Structure 1
């Protein structure tokens, strides 16, 4: 297993709900899968288990699911 660089997801808004972010990043196929993965404790936000699908994820947060890691960036940060 190699250490992969995290994917960067750019947001237009200040924040996004965790379930929506997982779908946007293609880590889950739909809201039902997002709910299941989150409620079962398989999602880490900034290194902590997160079980709230409605958790607001913001610029600078790191989300991990099944060995995949993404970093959230504001759209302006990603464009620079």
Structure 2
């Protein structure tokens, strides 16, 4: 378990990743939480941004927050402008 910002950055830089959304989870989110008009979502601890990007694809305006600047840079590079990427500073 990582506890410091440096540990999180190092973990992501070393290739530590968490499981991706399954197709069942994607279907459940699509079916059960469609974005309302002007719908907003907050993804705290967004990591590499998969959930944030998926919620954006459903029509949500997403703010995604993480402590790891490394993870956020990877998320922004992969998902571009799908969301607003916010770095939680210590």
**TM bucket, shorter chain:** under 0.3
More helix by share: 2
TM, length-normalised to structure 1: 0.26
TM, length-normalised to structure 2: 0.24
Higher-Rg member (1/2): 2
